[in-house]
Every structure is written in structure tokens, then in C-alpha cells.
């Protein structure tokens, strides 16, 4: 496998694009694009729950009369350590290229397939170890703001024509090498799962994915757990329940982010910014929890 097959088009971002993105920073103001993760947090129902479990505590160390540093310990020094048990797709995260498969051979971007490239410790091609850093221009497109509503209704699609109109309305242009973030308003109600339910799985449809591809983006994200609108209005023949993931991630190596917190940047009408994201490189993982930044 070549590096391009393992990483995708983001590998080819010219250094000058990063320099121009850095020049966008005028005030130094930073917006966190993530919310906290915690046991019981809302997650896509196909993923295991998020758990934080104590492994070592000061009372436990005393009760066991453990000496992790070796004696003496006359000051009663203790420490806390924990297991974090979670899918890499917990909260704000980026899908690695090996996350989604399609076809009888279960293939993914870059020629990976489960027969040749799936080990007992995860995929060896397109896994999270290969995830690149992101330091480029970010663009926010805000359909609820454009429509004059708090949040889109559950299952509401956002198509190419609307994205084009929103970009014009906001006075921004989507360019090659951009990361485009599309707000639905879903996380406005975080973490109230009941309130969120009325706005669940709105998002881009297949025409929106094609619009993003035509403009040369390297990654895109939304504030929902599925990125794309569900159920898909354009499943095609044979039926594909997630045609947008197939088009972007599997066929073109365009990274997808989910559960991206966009309420503050939308409130302040920050429509373009330096986008910074540093995935955690875990061999065999199919994604990475991330806490990205928008900086202006």
C-alpha cells in the first residue's frame, strides 16, 4: 500500500495552504469543537457505551498496602489511574479510512479488504495509526441559521443547492483543501437525549457529498452521530443505507467527522477559521476521538 492509499487526498495539501490558514488567525480566539465525554453519554446505538473505571485510587493503594514506588512513603503519597473503555467513535471523532466497508469483499478506500488486511487487532490498512494531522482552512455552513430555525428536524436532508445558497448567504467560498463543517443544531440540546431525539440524524444527502467533492475538500463533519441524513433519501439500486459515507470515505478518502460541536462558532457567525485537529494514532483502531479547534 502506498502512503496516499493509507492517508487519502489530505496527504497532498500544499505547505502554502497551511501557511495561508495560519494567517487567518487575527485575534487568537479559540473555539473548542467538542463536548465532554462521560459514562451514559448519547452515542450511535451501534457503538459500545463509554466507560471510565478506576484502576488505582489512594484508598485502594492504602488498603492493599501497595508500594508502587517502593518504600518508604511517609507522606502518604497516592495517585489515581483509570481505564477508559470506549469505541474510538465516542463523541467528537474522525473516521479512519478503514472504518466503513462495502461489497462482498468488504473493501475500503485504498484497496483494503477484510480478507487481506483485517488482523485480530484491527485493520492494517487505513487504520487510525495512519490518520494525519489537520492544519488547514475550516468553513462552517449553517443550514438552521440560513432557514431561521434553532435546529433541523429529525431526518431532514441538506442538499447541494442549499449548501451553495448558504455559502453565498454567508459570504464564504468552499475551496480545495478545506475542511467543511455543517451544522444541524442537534448539539444545541446536548446532553438532553429526549430533546435531541426531535432533531436526530438530519444532515447532508448524496448531492451535498458530490458538491463537497467537486470543491476539493479533504474532510467534512457535522454535529450528529451519523454525519449524513438518515434514513437516506437516495439509497440507489442496490440499496445502500449510507451512500454519503460510501461516496466520501470509501470511494474518495475524504475524512468524516461526527458529533462536532458547532453552536459557539455559529452563534458568533464565525464562518471561516484555522482548523486544527490532531488524531490519536492507535494502530488497528478505526477512528480517533478528537477535540478540534477553530481559531480566528
Residue carrying C-alpha cell 467528537: 92
User: Which pTM does this prediction carry?
Assistant: 0.95
Over pLDDT 90: what percentage of the chain? 96
pLDDT of residue 3: 67
SS3 220: strand
Reference 32, options 209, 244, 190; nearest CA is 190
What is the DSSP code string of 90-145? SSSEEE-TTS--BTTTTB-GGG-BHHHHEETTEESSS-GGGPPPEEEEEEEE-HHH
Q: For the chain, list the domains and their CATH numbers.
A: 3-37+88-295 (3.50.30.50), 51-85 (no CATH)
pLDDT of residue 4: 64
Q: Sort strands 272-277 and 219-222 into parallel, antiparallel or unpaired.
A: unpaired
pLDDT of residue 6: 82
Ranges of the chain with pLDDT below 70:
1-5
Decide if 129 contacts 282 (C-beta within 8 A). Answer: yes
Amino acid at each position: 500500500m502506498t502512503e496516499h492509499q493509507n492517508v487519502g487526498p489530505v496527504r497532498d495539501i500544499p505547505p502554502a495552504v497551511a501557511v495561508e490558514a495560519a494567517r487567518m488567525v487575527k485575534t487568537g480566539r479559540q473555539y473548542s469543537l467538542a463536548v465532554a465525554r462521560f459514562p451514559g453519554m448519547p452515542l450511535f446505538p451501534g457503538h459500545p457505551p463509554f466507560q471510565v473505571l478506576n484502576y488505582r485510587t489512594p484508598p485502594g493503594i492504602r488498603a492493599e498496602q501497595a508500594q508502587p514506588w517502593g518504600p518508604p512513603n511517609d507522606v502518604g503519597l497516592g495517585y489515581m489511574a483509570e481505564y477508559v473503555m470506549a469505541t474510538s467513535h465516542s463523541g467528537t471523532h474522525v473516521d479512519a479510512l478503514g472504518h466503513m466497508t462495502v461489497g462482498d469483499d468488504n473493501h475500503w478506500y485504498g484497496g483494503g479488504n477484510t480478507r487481506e488486511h483485517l488482523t485480530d487487532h484491527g485493520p492494517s490498512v487505513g487504520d487510525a495509526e495512519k490518520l494525519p494531522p489537520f492544519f488547514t482552512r475550516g468553513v462552517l455552513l449553517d443550514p438552521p441559521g440560513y432557514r431561521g430555525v434553532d435546529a433541523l428536524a429529525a431526518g431532514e436532508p441538506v442538499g447541494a443547492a442549499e449548501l451553495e445558497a448558504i455559502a453565498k448567504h454567508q459570504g464564504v467560498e468552499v475551496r480545495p483543501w478545506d475542511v467543511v463543517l455543517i451544522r444541524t443544531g442537534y448539539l444545541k440540546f446536548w446532553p438532553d437525549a429526549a430533546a435531541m431525539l426531535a432533531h436526530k440524524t438530519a444532515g447532508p444527502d448524496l448531492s451535498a457529498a458530490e458538491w463537497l467533492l467537486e470543491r476539493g475538500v479533504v474532510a467534512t463533519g457535522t454535529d450528529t452521530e451519523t454525519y449524513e441524513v438518515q434514513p437516506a433519501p437516495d439509497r440507489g439500486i442496490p440499496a445502500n443505507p449510507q451512500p454519503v459515507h460510501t461516496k466520501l470515505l470509501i470511494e474518495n478518502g475524504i475524512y468524516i467527522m461526527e458529533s462536532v460541536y458547532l453552536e459557539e462558532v455559529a452563534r458568533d457567525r464565525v464562518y471561516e477559521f484555522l482548523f486544527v485537529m490532531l488524531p490519536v494514532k492507535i494502530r488497528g483502531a478505526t477512528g480517533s476521538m478528537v477535540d478540534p479547534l477553530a481559531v480566528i
